Amino acid sequence: MSEHVYTKYIHHDVEVRVRADLKGKHREHCLCFKCSKFAPRTLENCGIAAAVYSHCVTFNIVTPVWECPDFEQGQPKSEVPPDGQDITTN
């Protein structure tokens, strides 16, 4: 079993720890960014995506979605903000 390397960095003004090989890969792994129901910063956003994001903000965590009962492959309904920018409703 190989040992992983962990690193610390500041994410949204909070020091967090992450497995070094996974840092910055959230969007690559998360189904939301390839789902036609994803509409960040709008009231039409997927309820599951909104709830997961709210949980992430509350606990200062990053949670990629790998399995979802509502996933529909396609482009998100609205423009996805660049990495590091908040995706909450305006």
How far, in Å, CA of 25 to CA of 41, rounded? 21
HSE at residue 65, side-chain half, CA atoms within 13 A, is 20
The full set of domain ranges for the chain reads 24-90
Question: What does each of the 90 residues of the chain score in pLDDT, given as a tens digit?
Answer: 679 999 999 988 999 999 999 999 999 999 999 999 999 888 999 999 999 999 999 999 999 999 999 999 999 987 776 655 555 543
CA distances from 44 to 7, 36, 67, 76 (A): 36, 11, 21, 11
Per-residue confidence (pLDDT) for residue 79, from 0 to 100: 76
